[in-house]
Chains A and B, each alone.
Chain A
Amino acid sequence: GQNIDQPTEMTATEGAIVQINCTYQTSGFNGLFWYQQHAGEAPTFLSYNVLDGLEEKGRFSSFLSRSKGYSYLLLKELQMKDSASYLCAFMDSNYQLIWGAGTKLIIKP
């Protein structure tokens, strides 16, 4: 079967670093996506990993280990505007996205 899991909620302090983990199980894999979703808004694309390793994009980085079925999103120098839900999704063998329930990130001053 297929499944994907990420923590429901995390809290971090403005200016700090936070790592949001995502684990998945699937027989067919075509990449791992991270999206950001502010409350009441649409998801917006953050990153895509298909090979093992770290992809850095400004304050945000995403890591993938295909052998472990594991990814994380790393957010540095946290700002209040980073308060949002972060959605992890993998693309299966049919090129459909399978989504996690999202991690709500709360940033405190």
Chain B
Amino acid sequence: IAGITQAPTSQILAAGRRMTLRCTQDMRHNAMYWYRQDLGLGLRLIHYSNTAGTTGKGEVPDGYSVSRANTDDFPLTLASAVPSQTSVYFCASSDGGGSTDTQYFGPGTRLTVL
């Protein structure tokens, strides 16, 4: 089934630990995104990539890093997790075609940092 997969589905992590959230899409989309969703707030963009080999910072990039070695994969790394990074993380992808660009979302990763 075509789409976006994320792993793990959920994770409980001790503060200070390193964690990588995985995201893979098979739609050959150029652009990929990482968002966090917190209660009472809209989706907030962490990092994005318009095409393989390039990345950019979103609204809330601090404490997170990404890489885009190929078209399909866009991992998000928390170098040293803190409790404020407890959230639901969504990966999304789109054709990257400008204003009509519809984003398609993965199922999300629920992360708890203790």
Q: Do A and B bind each other?
A: yes
Q: Tell me the A residues contacting B by CB distance below 8 Å.
A: 4, 30-31, 33, 41-45, 48, 50, 87, 89, 91, 95-102
A-B contacts counted at CB < 8 A amount to 48
B34 within 8 A of A: no
Which residues of chain B in 14-48 are interfacial with respect to chain A, using CB atoms and an 8 Å cutoff? 40-45, 48
Min distance, Cβ A3 to any Cβ of chain B, angstroms: 10
CB contact between B99 and one of A30, A41, A89, A102 (< 8 Å): that residue: A30
Please report the C-alpha to C-alpha distance between residue A83 and residue B72 in the assembled complex, in whole angstroms. 33
Q: Tell me the B residues contacting A by CB distance below 8 Å.
A: 40-45, 48, 58, 90, 98-108
- A45 and B90 within 8 A (CB): no
CB contact between A43 and one of B40, B43, B45 (< 8 Å): that residue: B43
Using CB atoms, name the residue of chain A closest to B108: A42
Using CB atoms, name the residue of chain A closest to B41: A101
Please report the C-alpha to C-alpha distance between residue A38 and residue B101 in the assembled complex, in whole angstroms. 22
Please report the C-alpha to C-alpha distance between residue A43 and residue B102 in the assembled complex, in whole angstroms. 12
On chain A, the residues within 8 Å of B103 by CB distance are 45, 97
On chain A, the residues within 8 Å of B100 by CB distance are 31, 48, 50
On chain B, the residues within 8 Å of A91 by CB distance are 99, 101
- A48 and B102 within 8 A (CB): yes
On chain A, the residues within 8 Å of B104 by CB distance are 45
Min distance, Cβ B72 to any Cβ of chain A, angstroms: 18
On chain A, the residues within 8 Å of B101 by CB distance are 91, 95
Given A95-B99, A95-B101, A96-B58: A101 in contact with B45 (beta carbons within 8 A):
no
Min distance, Cβ B45 to any Cβ of chain A, angstroms: 6
